[in-house]
Every structure is written in structure tokens, then in C-alpha cells.
């Protein structure tokens, strides 16, 4: 599956300071005022291309509403008296580009392998030629628009160079920019809240972050969780001096959110809760996923669908709080009981077998890519009394699943069962041989234990920076 994202590219006719001031003025017209990140009801990220001629605009709102990006592009073009175009990328297959020089659409371009029945529009020379950098021609841009790239992002990067836009900015979404805001001086995050007027000044409007802190903080802090000092909202609890349990807020749209949860041991290459939630989505999963994976054979699909997301129709504080209370109720029902079962590393094995079995993969120093797989905790097997236990319990669980399939699937033959069981046993044998090779090779063993020590020290420092007292 490819990427979906929406951004806006704005022709900048002044300095950075002038652009930011103009943007603040636009927000004021929308009854929004600048604030801190904790207070924000909406956030934007802007990125200035090195050419100084373009600014990329993204927002968390665009993640679930491409139409909002188009509306913002149209308004920005009119209010800043400049040219803007919105980009809506669909599954990395194609992109819809709409160019505005006022309140009307000035031109439309479809790039990539769209499913449009007729020839999709590829732009008009008179609209795009004035925007090209010196030395570039409309014919060159038109050729890029018509390329049938495997990933539409490749065509967008080519077009970016023609227009003087930073190619990496052309294909980055809100979360990508948010991850680099602290490192890239050309990227600026801006936060806004609804302006308080005499009519609504009686009650301060709650943001999702504030509601999450209010509802979940009250429930989780007495259980030993602390609000982590991270870019994204998380409550974490350190257990057995070896792993953390995590519950976090994931915003889906302006009024829709999810609650994610997971565990991370100090044995993984790096615990990173400051990166985009998308980068951790393999192991930090939603409440509905935890419910399903813990009730693999008896879960209610309709009920599971009802807890995939949580939301509120109107933004009154009471509605927001009620939505978070409902989410908390599901967390107390399905997540916290699983967390309470986890008190030692042996319990972590059971959790990962149930919820995220790739986390048990063991990559020692002889595997070249192991340092880049940050959600694998399996090296903790070397701190267990029996290093082979991970492999054996993983195999037992797989055979249990195959047995259930054999009993409940009429098309599942005895030959299928035998074949799969043999494959599981062979895979288990290979895993144990791999672990044994490390145990029985002094150089490899010493290097592995040194790597484990380095990971522990690194992750403990990271957790301390998140405000955990270790």
C-alpha cells in the first residue's frame, strides 16, 4: 500500500518573516490565534525551499481531509495575492494538482496512473510557464506530468526541480515535516487555537491533547504511568527495569482520534517516541487491534469496528470529554488487563506472541541490517535463564493456531496440518541454531552482549529524557 497525503505549495513573494506574518493574518481572519503546542486545536507546518520562492504548507487537518487542503490553497492564493497549488496523492499511484491564482481553479493536472476513464488533464502552458525557474521549459514539465512512474512521488520530485521547490518538501506530509522540525531550520511549526470572544469566553475550549491529559491522566497516573515529555502525547510506565508499557493519543482527523498501546524493551535498538506515529504503527496499535489479537478466535467483528476510532460530532467540551471517557473505558477493558499480566520479560514473550510476534525476532551482530530494525526486542533472550525459550514458545503458539484452523476450517486437510507443523518445527530449529551459534561462538557472544549493554544504556537515557525516573 502506498502513501496518501495532501500538501500546498505557495509562491512566496517576500521574505520569511513577511510570509509568516501574512499567514498569521490569514489565521486571524479564521478566528484562530497563535498559541503553544499544548493549547493548539490545529497545527500547521511550513517549509521554505532554498530558492526562497516557494513555501510548502501542511497540516494535521489535511491528513483526513484533502478537501480542506484545496480550500486552504484557494483562500491563501486570494488573500496573499499569489499562486498556490494543492497536491493530493492517492496511494502513491496518482496525484491531483489544482493550481489557484485567486478564488477559482486556474488549472488542474492529474499525474500518475489514475483511474480516470478519459485522458486526464495535464496542465496548460500559460498557467505553469510563468512559475518555472530560469532555463526550464513548459515542454520539460509537460513531459514529467505525462510520465507513468511506478510511484507518483518520483514525478513530483522531477516537477519540483522545474519549479524551484525543494524536491523532498514536495513529497513530504505533515508527519514527515513534524519529525524534522527540530533539525531542519527551513521547517517551522505553527500552532493555533480558537479565538476567545465575549460570546464563548465562559468556557475555554478543550483540545484533544488537553482532553487526553485530563481523562487518561486521572486514570493512569495512580497506576504508575507518567505523561512523557515527547513530541506526541504518551503515558508510559517502566516495569521490571526492562520494558515500558505505553498508551498514546493518535489524532486521525479534527474530531476523530484513536488510542494506541504497546510495549518496548530496553533491548531494542532504540526506543523512539518522538518520531511520527506512522513509524511506530507496527507495534503501537489501536485498541481494536489489541482486542482482536487477544481474542483471535472469538472476537466480535461488529464490536471491533465500533472501537476502531473515537470521535465527537460537535466541539463542546462535554462532547470531547465524553468521547475520551468512552475511549478510556475500552482501554480499561482490553489494554490495561493485558498490561497487568506483564510483570517480567517472560510475560513480554506472551504479549509479543499474541500482539506483535515480529518483536521476538533475534538479530545478532552477524546480521547486517539488525541495527535498523528498531521495533525488534528479541535480543533479550540472552538475558533469560533459557535463551531458547523465545523460539520454543513461539513455535508452540504457531502450532496452537494451526490446530485451531484444522478444527474450524473444513477446507483444511490433514496433509495441510502436517505440512505446516513440519515447517514450524523446521523454522524453530533454525532459530535455535542461530541463537546457539551466538552462544557457542565467544567472539559473537561477546559482541552481542556488548550490543545489549549499549542498547540498555542508550534506551535508559532516552527514557530519562522522557521524564521517567530510572
* Alpha-carbon torsion, ordered 379, 383, 389, 395, to 10 deg: -10
Q: Which of 38-47, 132-141, 367-376 bottoms out in mean pLDDT, i.e. has the lowest? A: 367-376
Question: Burial letters for 378-411: b for 16+ Cβ neighbours within 10 Å, e otherwise?
Answer: bbbbbeeeebeebbebbbebbeeebeeebeeeee
pLDDT at 199: 44
175 and 216 part of one domain? no
334 and 374 part of one domain? no
pLDDT at 359: 92
Question: Burial letters for 236-246: b for 16+ Cβ neighbours within 10 Å, e otherwise?
Answer: bbbbeebbbbb
pLDDT in tens, 243-268: 999 999 998 877 889 999 999 999 99
Residue 351 is assigned to a structural domain of this protein: no
113 and 184 part of one domain? yes
Residue written as grid cell 504503527: 281
Q: Which of 112-116, 297-301, 337-341, 381-385 bottoms out in mean pLDDT, i.e. has the lowest? A: 112-116
Say if residue 200's pLDDT is above 70.
Answer: no
Number of domains making up the chain: 3
* Mean pLDDT, residues 13-40: 86
Q: Please check whether residue 304 is in contact with residue 288, taking contact to mean a CB–CB distance below 8 angstroms.
A: yes
Residue 261 is assigned to a structural domain of this protein: yes
60 and 183 part of one domain? yes
* Mean pLDDT, residues 93-112: 83
369 and 448 part of one domain? yes
* Mean pLDDT, residues 93-100: 90
Confidence of residue 233 (pLDDT cuts 50, 70, 90): very high
Residue 199 is assigned to a structural domain of this protein: no
Instruction: Classify residue 54 by burial, with Cβ atoms within 10 Å: 0-12, 13-18, 19+.
Output: buried
Check residues 194 and 372 and name the one with the higher pLDDT: 194
Residue 131 is assigned to a structural domain of this protein: yes
Check residues 366 and 343 and name the one with the higher pLDDT: 343
pLDDT at 299: 86
Measure the CA–CA gap between 87 and 5, rounded to whole angstroms: 8
Q: Please check whether residue 60 is in contact with residue 71, taking contact to mean a CB–CB distance below 8 angstroms.
A: no
Domain boundary among 194, 223, 244: 194
pLDDT in tens, 318-337: 889 999 999 999 999 999 99
Q: What is the rounded average pLDDT for all residues in the chain?
A: 88
Say if residue 72's pLDDT is above 80.
Answer: yes
pLDDT at 105: 67
State how far the alpha carbon of 154 is from the alpha carbons of 92, 151, 170, 252, 431, in Å. 10, 6, 10, 27, 39
Residue 470 is assigned to a structural domain of this protein: no
Query: Which range marks the domain in which residue 372 is found?
Result: 357-465
* Mean pLDDT, residues 39-67: 85
Confidence of residue 198 (pLDDT cuts 50, 70, 90): very low
Residue 200 is assigned to a structural domain of this protein: no
* Mean pLDDT, residues 454-466: 95
77 and 178 part of one domain? yes
Say if residue 93's pLDDT is above 90.
Answer: no
308 and 386 part of one domain? no
* Mean pLDDT, residues 76-91: 90
Check residues 197 and 156 and name the one with the higher pLDDT: 156
283 and 419 part of one domain? no
Q: Please check whether residue 293 is in contact with residue 354, taking contact to mean a CB–CB distance below 8 angstroms.
A: yes
pLDDT at 196: 62
Measure the CA–CA gap between 298 and 122, rounded to whole angstroms: 51
Say if residue 240's pLDDT is above 90.
Answer: yes
10 and 143 part of one domain? yes
pLDDT in tens, 133-183: 988 999 999 998 887 777 889 999 999 999 999 999 999 888 888 877 778
Q: Count CB-CB contacts under 10 A for residue 271.
A: 25
* Mean pLDDT, residues 382-397: 94
Say if residue 466's pLDDT is above 90.
Answer: yes
Measure the CA–CA gap between 39 and 199, rounded to whole angstroms: 20
pLDDT at 368: 62
Measure the CA–CA gap between 298 and 18, rounded to whole angstroms: 59
Q: What is the pTM of this model?
A: 0.73
Could you tell me which residues come within 8 angstroms of residue 92 by beta carbon, excluding any fewer than 6 positions away?
2, 3, 151, 152, 153
43 and 165 part of one domain? yes
Domain boundary among 341, 373, 401: 341
Widest Cα–Cα separation across the chain: 75
Q: Which of 2-11, 60-69, 461-470 bottoms out in mean pLDDT, i.e. has the lowest? A: 60-69
216 and 332 part of one domain? yes
Domain boundary among 137, 168, 194: 194
* Mean pLDDT, residues 88-105: 83
Say if residue 205's pLDDT is above 80.
Answer: no
Residue 347 is assigned to a structural domain of this protein: no
Residue written as grid cell 488487563: 337
Residue 179 is assigned to a structural domain of this protein: yes
Measure the CA–CA gap between 136 and 127, rounded to whole angstroms: 14
59 and 160 part of one domain? yes
Measure the CA–CA gap between 107 and 124, rounded to whole angstroms: 7
Q: Which of 19-28, 180-189, 221-230, 264-273 bottoms out in mean pLDDT, i.e. has the lowest? A: 180-189
Say if residue 17's pLDDT is above 50.
Answer: yes
Amino acid at each position: 500500500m502506498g502513501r496518501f497525503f495532501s500538501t500546498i505549495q505557495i509562491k512566496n513573494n517576500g521574505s520569511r518573516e513577511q510570509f509568516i506574518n501574512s499567514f498569521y493574518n490569514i489565521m486571524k481572519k479564521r478566528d484562530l490565534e497563535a498559541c503553544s503546542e499544548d493549547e493548539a486545536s490545529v497545527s500547521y507546518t511550513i517549509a521554505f525551499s532554498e530558492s526562497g520562492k516557494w513555501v510548502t504548507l501542511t497540516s494535521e487537518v489535511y491528513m483526513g481531509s484533502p478537501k480542506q487542503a484545496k480550500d486552504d490553497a484557494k483562500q491563501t492564493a486570494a488573500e496573499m495575492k499569489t499562486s498556490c497549488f494543492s497536491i493530493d496523492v492517492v496511494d502513491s499511484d496518482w496525484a491531483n494538482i489544482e493550481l489557484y491564482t485567486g478564488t477559482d481553479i486556474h488549472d488542474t493536472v492529474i499525474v500518475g496512473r489514475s483511474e480516470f476513464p478519459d485522458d486526464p488533464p495535464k496542465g496548460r502552458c500559460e498557467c505553469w510557464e510563468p512559475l518555472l525557474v530560469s532555463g526550464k521549459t513548459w515542454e520539460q514539465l509537460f513531459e514529467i506530468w505525462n510520465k507513468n512512474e511506478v510511484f507518483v512521488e518520483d514525478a513530483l520530485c522531477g516537477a519540483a526541480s522545474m519549479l524551484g521547490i525543494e524536491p523532498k518538501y514536495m513529497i513530504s506530509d505533515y508527519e514527515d515535516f513534524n519529525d524534522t522540525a527540530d533539525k531542519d531550520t527551513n521547517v517551522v511549526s505553527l500552532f493555533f487555537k480558537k479565538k476567545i470572544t465575549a460570546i464563548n469566553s465562559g468556557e475555554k475550549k478543550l483540545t484533544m491533547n488537553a482532553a487526553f491529559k485530563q481523562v487518561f491522566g486521572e486514570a493512569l497516573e495512580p497506576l504508575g504511568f507518567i505523561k512523557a515529555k515527547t513530541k506526541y502525547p504518551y503515558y508510559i510506565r517502566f516495569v521490571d527495569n526492562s520494558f515500558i508499557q505505553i498508551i498514546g493519543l493518535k489524532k486521525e482527523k479534527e474530531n476523530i482520534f484513536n488510542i494506541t498501546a504497546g510495549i518496548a524493551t530496553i533491548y531494542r535498538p532504540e526506543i523512539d517516541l518522538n518520531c511520527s506515529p506512522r513509524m511506530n504503527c507496527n507495534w503501537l496499535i489501536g485498541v481494536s487491534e489489541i482486542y482482536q489479537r487477544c481474542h483471535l478466535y472469538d472476537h466480535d467483528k461488529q464490536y471491533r469496528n465500533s472501537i476502531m476510532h473515537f470521535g465527537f460530532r460537535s466541539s463542546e467540551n462535554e462532547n470531547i470529554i465524553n468521547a475520551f471517557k468512552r475511549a478510556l473505558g475500552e482501554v480499561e477493558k482490553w489494554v490495561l488487563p493485558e498490561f497487568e499480566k506483564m510483570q517480567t520479560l517472560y510475560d513480554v514473550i506472551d504479549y509479543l506472541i499474541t500482539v506483535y510476534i515480529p518483536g521476538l525476532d533475534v538479530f545478532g551482530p552477524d546480521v547486517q541490517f539488525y541495527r535498523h530494525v528498531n521495533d525488534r526486542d528479541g535480543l533479550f533472550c540472552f538475558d533469560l535463564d533459557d535463551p531458547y525459550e523465545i523460539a520454543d514458545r513461539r513455535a508452540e503458539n504457531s502450532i496452537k493456531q494451526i490446530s485451531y484452523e484444522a478444527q474450524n476450517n473444513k477446507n483444511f486437510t490433514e496433509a495441510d496440518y502436517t505440512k505446516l507443523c513440519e515447517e514450524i518445527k523446521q523454522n524453530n530449529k533454525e532459530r535455535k541454531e542461530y541463537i546457539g551459534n551466538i552462544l557457542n561462538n565467544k567472539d559473537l557472544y561477546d559482541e552481542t552482549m556488548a550490543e545489549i549493554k549499549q542498547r540498555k544504556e542508550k534506551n535508559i537515557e532516552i527514557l530519562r529524557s522522557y521524564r521517567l525516573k530510572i
